[in-house]
Amino acid sequence: MIHSVGCARHTVRMTDDGVAIAYDVLRRGTPVVDKDGSQVGTVHEVLDNAREHIFDGIVVSTPDGRRFVDAPEVGRITDQRVTLTIDAAAVRALPEPDSPAAAPVAGTESFVGRWRKRLGL
């Protein structure tokens, strides 16, 4: 179900999964669901290239450990959840964030991410 909030000039579209938000305000602990809507974990960390303002992906805490989800597999980010474009089996097959396939580029931690770490968020 889609809801519209505000006047016609400043309409915010909301769906049952919440209001769409930018990756750089995505919070640790936000639920992550697969393409079928089943929860597969929670957001542990958001990875970006701060210099170029490019979203690289997220690290998800799952029952099987942490997994790196590349940006193309992230279908939607809202204030309620992150929805992936892949199913739970594909999530389990993803690399751990410490593997060479998922290594972030050195020096690409976002300004917001650095402050979240300093503040313990």
CATH number at residue 66: 3.90.50.10
Q: Is residue 113 part of a domain?
A: no
- pTM reported for the whole predicted model: 0.70
pLDDT tens across 19-34, in order? 999 998 999 999 999 9
pLDDT tens across 39-51, in order? 999 999 999 887 8
Q: Which residues contact 106 (CB under 8 A, 6 or more apart)?
A: none
Give the number of domains in the chain: 1
Rounded to whole angstroms, the Cα distance separating 41 from 65 reads 9
Q: Is residue 90 part of a domain?
A: yes
Q: Is residue 26 part of a domain?
A: yes
